[in-house]
């Protein structure tokens, strides 16, 4: 189980990298600015916790930007952990199905807190807003599921090789025992 969770965390980190790449590609192609919702979420969380982000105005903005990015990374890795946990409990979806499930989980994990805090309301998003959110999250989900599947396939192959070596050793030991009894 722990191995599945660790592989899920690694897969979630790989998925997060894919999400960032898709987001930056979208920004480059469409000439759009980065989203300010992660920083706004940090602001709202800071208010809710009754804390102030330290520093002057420029330092606060830099810290909010960094914390917003870290929140995204934590979300991506956490969804990956959940993916690995489900796998450890016996869930074995095809990569495409797993990718869609991871996509939806990551979208809920990132958008639900923003909606709950009043930072953003997905019900009011335009088609362009939705595409800016769905496509990078789809890249996340597919990369997460594919990475997990690749680690699982390699693990299965290693287990099979290990069982085969044991069987060969057991067979060799049996032959040696029979030979020693007949001599």
Q: To which H or E segment does residue 34 belong?
A: none
Task: Give the 3-state secondary structure of residue 91.
Answer: coil
Average pLDDT over residues 4-23: 96
Any idea where the domains of the chain sit in the sequence?
2-182
Q: Distance between CA atoms of 98 and 109, rounded to whole angstroms?
A: 16
Return the CA Rg of the chain. 23
Return the pLDDT at 175: 56
Residue 182 has pLDDT above 70, yes or no: no
CA angle 49, 51, 52 (to 5 degrees): 140
CA angle 49, 50, 52 (to 5 degrees): 105
Q: How far is CA 45 from CA 110, 115, 121, in A?
A: 14, 12, 17
Return the pLDDT at 16: 97
Q: Distance between CA atoms of 147 and 34, rounded to whole angstroms?
A: 27
Per-residue pLDDT of 44-83, as tens digits, reads 999 999 999 999 999 999 999 999 999 999 999 999 999 9
Residues 8 and 72 sit within 8 Å (Cβ to Cβ): no
- Token readout for 143 is 């990369």
Residue 183 has pLDDT above 80, yes or no: no
More confident residue, 179 or 7: 7
Contacts of the segment 85-94: beta carbons below 8 A, 24+ positions apart:
85/1, 85/4, 85/5, 85/8, 87/4, 87/7, 87/8, 87/148, 87/152, 88/1, 88/3, 88/4, 88/5, 89/1, 93/145
Residues 76 and 106 sit within 8 Å (Cβ to Cβ): yes
Model pTM score? 0.80
Q: How confident is the model at residue 155 (pLDDT cuts 50, 70, 90)?
A: low
Per-residue pLDDT of 15-32, as tens digits, reads 999 999 999 999 999 998
């Amino acid at each position: 189980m722990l191995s599945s969770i660790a592989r899920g965390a690694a897969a979630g980190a790989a998925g997060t990298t894919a999400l960032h790449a898709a987001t930056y590609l979208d920004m480059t192609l469409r000439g759009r600015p980065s989203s300010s919702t992660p920083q706004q979420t940090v602001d709202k969380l800071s208010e809710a916790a009754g804390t102030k982000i330290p520093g002057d105005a420029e330092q606060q903005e830099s810290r909010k930007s960094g914390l917003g990015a870290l929140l995204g990374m934590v979300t991506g890795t956490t969804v990956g952990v959940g993916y690995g946990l489900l796998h450890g409990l016996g869930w074995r979806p095809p990569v495409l199905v797993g990718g869609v499930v991871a996509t939806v989980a990551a979208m809920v994990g990132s958008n639900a807190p923003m909606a709950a805090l009043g930072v953003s309301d997905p019900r009011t998003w335009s088609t362009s807003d939705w595409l800016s959110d769905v496509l990078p999250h789809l890249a996340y989900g597919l990369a997460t599921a594919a990475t997990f599947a690749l680690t699982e396939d390699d693990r299965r192959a290693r287990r099979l090789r290990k069982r085969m070596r044991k069987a060969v050793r057991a067979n060799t030991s049996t032959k040696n025992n029979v030979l020693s009894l007949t001599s």
